[in-house]
Structure 1
């Protein structure tokens, strides 16, 4: 990395750190370009040399909070071999961290932050590769995806290969799971929850387990008919 690139990376990090400070002290809704620039010690115009707009800046600052989730996931997934257990574990750790910091996770996965590049998550990790240390390589495609449905569908592939879910039903299964998760996250984000983080996580993971193990019945993938309507009459 050249001296110029090192300097750019350092200044970019100043802005991200300043944004984190505003988020911590005042909340995401109060982040402005001027506040961040003042805290970082630069004028507002300089920020636009590094970030497209305030939504871009907020996204990158919020992404830094996922470090603990990634580290936690990497540690827990080492001890899981079964495909279904792995999928449930991925969601369990995600729920624990996101329900504990709903404003951050809502900003990344649930709110409208404007027109952000499709590869923005990859761009973040290109700048912060240490955030992915010790992560099993098979989980990397999921973590590089910003869309929750796509993340879930990528993670679901082992369950499909293991026969838990019909490939044709993967999108339906994913949609149901993401709807359940985002509904619970919304309760935490809007401070309308009656659950602890632990209780909410247990509920969501159990609903996900039920969806997975009953998906073939739920979506009528029953194989041979069992009600006799399409069977040949018995010989008399």
Structure 2
């Protein structure tokens, strides 16, 4: 019983701090988030916050997870647009780019920024506290959410394209890595204003580079099977 009460208390305290962090992010932006602001808003001291979160990056990571709900909910819709593994994967990229470039600070925290710890452990911990956020998601989508390493996640998914004759085994890891590098490079340039792109331009260009990197390794006899028509146009 004591362990059960401790877990209930921990979940309650996490809720207080994550609610406060979410409010600060929404009202002031990710760059204005501090432990003190979050603790004050939650009605506790900074030292209490550190009893539940390793550091600020830890708390920002978990708070950012809340902002990915629209992406997670919309992902199955995009996957349904594809008729084979590579098409589904390309449409999943459209969904990811759509949401990530419209909330760059959130997705940078989750996929680019240094966290001072293992993001896989953070994510597993998050869903132990909030397992209900996985309820109703297809098993395939759950694996997307739980596998934080984007390249590994992509490789596991597009492996099916090998059986479909759309991709050679030797190209799976290459495609998974190069597309991640494309997104990270574009996201960094976009956030740092190295390129004068609007949000939709950044999305469109990223998807174009992702598509080009994929189609060039698909056997020429199979390329007509890959139809990708993203809805975002500038």
Using the size of structure 2 for normalisation, the TM-score is: 0.83
* Distance in 1 of aligned mates of 2:79 and 2:131: 20
Residue 192 of structure 1, CA deviation: 4.0
Aligned to 2:59: 57
Q: 2:202 aligns with which of 200, 203, 207?
A: 200
The 5-angstrom pairing of residues 1-236 of structure 1 reads: 2-116=4-118, 118-215=120-217
How far apart are residue 52 of structure 1 and its match?
A: 1.4
Deviations 1:67-88 (A, max 9, x none): 1100011233245432121001
Deviations 1:172-208 (A, max 9, x none): 2222111111111112222344333333323222322
Q: Matches of 2:12 and 2:84 in 1, distance apart? A: 42
- Structure 1: gaps spanning 5 or more residues: 223-236
How many residue pairs match? The answer is 218
| Residues 78 and 88 in structure 2, CA contact (< 8 A), matched pair in contact too | no
Deviation at 1:48, TM superposition (A): 2.2
The answer to which of 208-217 and 102-111 deviates more is 208-217
2:224 counterpart residue number: none
Give the secondary-structure state (helix, strand or coil) at the position aligned to 1:215.
Answer: coil
Distance in 2 separating the partners of 1:171 and 1:56:
29
Structure 2: tracts of 5 or more residues without a match: 221-234
**Which portions of structure 1, spanning 4 or more consecutive aligned residues, are displaced by more than 6 angstroms?**
none
Aligned to 1:233: none
RMSD over aligned CA atoms reads 2.3
Larger of the two Rg values belongs to structure: 1
